[in-house]
Amino acid sequence: MDRVPTGIEGLDELIEGGFPRRRMILVSGATGTGKTIFCSQFIYKGAVDYDEPGILVTLDERPNLIREDMLQFGWDFKREEEKDMIRIIDASIAKVGLPSEEVYHMPETGFDIDRLLVEIIKAAKEMGAKRVAVDSLPALGFRYESENDIRKAILKMSYALMKSGLTSIITSEIPENSNFYSKYGVEEFVADGVIILSYLGGGGPTTRTLHIRKMRGTNHSTNIHPIEITRERGMIVYPVEG
């Protein structure tokens, strides 16, 4: 099976060399567990280290804030955008009918999943994108009146991205220490892989962890792995000792 290097140090060794190409991976976790960093590292390292153009779709955070935050890791998104190795599609404020100053954005007439998918596929064809990250799906709740409508939108997005040949990451929010894998209960079923990011407490220093719950076509680790987010190397996944 053709593999896509994730750009997350220590992760590829746990999934037979990377994500299966042209598949969708769900990354779930509570607030502050590193989902946006995971997505950004996947897109940035893909462009810089593996010469694979990528698209970051932000449904929640403003693009200028993402650029600022990622500079702390030495990831210069603006430079790669100028090379057209990375495009950021801003869908963060279209949900409330406000205009975006970004080159690539959803119109302020309102959020529409079909229009967003057209923008993603159009950008992918123009720049030859190989990977895309959508962060984060719970933001769809601002647009749709019922969870059933949200589930339909997620299913449509899953089908369109996989049909386009992109290797994609979608993120979803879950409560800390919950038994759920996604916000709406459908994401984990349409995705080919599920990665859970968590905090583990217990009275001592807080520890971040990563658990590969599912990865189709892959003999993957089933352990809970400690992770660290560093200024020098971004997110690092460590092997389990013993």
How many separate domains does the chain show?
1
**Is the predicted pLDDT of residue 242 greater than 60, yes or no?**
no
Query: What confidence tier does 192 reach under pLDDT thresholds 50, 70, 90?
Result: very high
Apex CA 152: angle with CA 105 and CA 177, to 5°? 90
Its pTM stands at 0.94
**Is the predicted pLDDT of residue 203 greater than 70, yes or no?**
no
Crossing angle (nearest 10°) for helices 35-50 and 63-70 = 70
Residue 242 falls inside a structural domain: no
Q: What percent of the chain has pLDDT over 70?
A: 95
Residue 203, domain extent: 3-237
Q: Which residue has the higher pLDDT, 203 or 112?
A: 112
Q: What CATH code is carried by the domain that includes residue 87?
A: 3.40.50.300
> Contact, 190 vs 180, CB < 8 A?
no
Q: Helix or strand or coil: residue 1?
A: coil
Beta bridge partners of 24: 168
**Is the predicted pLDDT of residue 233 greater than 90, yes or no?**
yes
pLDDT at 95: 67
Residue 109 falls inside a structural domain: yes
**Is the predicted pLDDT of residue 110 greater than 70, yes or no?**
no
DSSP string, 147-200: HHHHHHHHHHHHHHHHHTT-EEEEEEE--TT-S-SSSSSSHHHH-SEEEEEEEE
